[in-house]
Chain A
Amino acid sequence: NAGVTQTPKFQVLKTGQSMTLQCAQDMNHEYMSWYRQDPGMGLRLIHYSVGAGITDQGEVPNGYNVSRSTTEDFPLRLLSAAPSQTSVYFCASGQGGTTVQYFGPGTRLTVT
């Protein structure tokens, strides 16, 4: 099992550009989520999904879109990148919301 994988590891964008952060898991987990981590602010939930075809907003959803067409994949789209979106992005998955959540290795995004 590869677990939770994320690509790319690093990305630099210019303001206004769009891109998609990829997240995949091979553990057949129903539950997937995206967090951003900023210094001194812990992990904040962006969007999450309780199963294929179902997504919901988290604490900081503005500027991001998600979709869940398959159990394995949960991409995060930045519509028009802003410097405030400079952060480390983590994807996580679990069998359900109340079981262990496994984190991916993260994507470090810089928006200039």
Chain B
Amino acid sequence: GENVEQHPSTLSVQEGDSAVIKCTYSDSASNYFPWYKQELGKRPQLIIDIRSNVGEKKDQRIAVTLNKTAKHFSLHITETQPEDSAVYFCAALAATGRRALTFGSGTRLQVQP
């Protein structure tokens, strides 16, 4: 089955700096890669996703890049703000076999004011 590894597990940045979170996946058949943000005590919420036919996607301060050859994808947050502090999860979905998301273990991002 699919295996998703996520790094780093914790990340602390100064307000205004950029933050990058990286994930690798094992199943070359995976074709959908969402990123979720989870605030303390809340449900995970989708912030951006990318499909395998696209190399990069941006939404204001958030961007995701995908390298299918290397089987890794990354989340980039620019001009970080204190409200970006949360746990971020990457996930991957295979096109065949178990059709369910496999999640990374999460990155706790802390933005220092």
Residues of A within 8 A of B (CB): 33, 35, 40-45, 48, 50, 56, 58-59, 90, 97-98, 100-106
B61 at the interface (CB under 8 A from A): no
Is the pair A45, B101 in contact by a Cβ cutoff of 8 Å? yes
A42/B43 in contact, CB under 8 A: no
Q: List 6 A-B contacts (CB under 8 A).
A: A40-B105, A43-B101, A45-B100, A97-B93, A101-B46, A105-B42
Known: A90-B44, A100-B46, A104-B43. A45 touches B105 (CB 8 A): no
Chain B, interface residues (CB within 8 Å), range:
20 to 34
In addition to A42-B104, A44-B103, A98-B32, 4 A-B residue pairs with Cβ atoms within 8 Å of each other are A41-B105, A97-B93, A97-B99, A102-B46
- When A and B form their complex, what is the total count of cross-chain residue pairs whose Cβ atoms lie within 8 Å? 57
A101 to B102, CA, bound (A): 12
Q: Does B45 contact A (CB under 8 A)?
A: yes
Q: Is the CB of A103 within 8 A of B45?
A: yes
Does B31 interact with chain A (Cβ within 8 Å)? yes
Closest to B1 in A: A59
Residues of chain A within 8 A (CB-CB) of B102 are 45, 59
Residue of A nearest to B95 (CB): A98
Checking A33, A90, A103, A105 against B100 with a beta-carbon cut-off of 8 angstroms, the contacting residue is A33
Q: Is the CB of B98 within 8 A of A56?
A: yes
Q: Which 10 A-B pairs have the closest CB atoms?
A: A97-B99, A103-B43, A42-B105, A43-B103, A42-B103, A98-B32, A48-B100, A45-B100, A42-B106, A103-B44
From A97, which residue of chain B is reached at the shortest CB distance? B99
In B59-88, the 8 Å CB interface with A consists of none
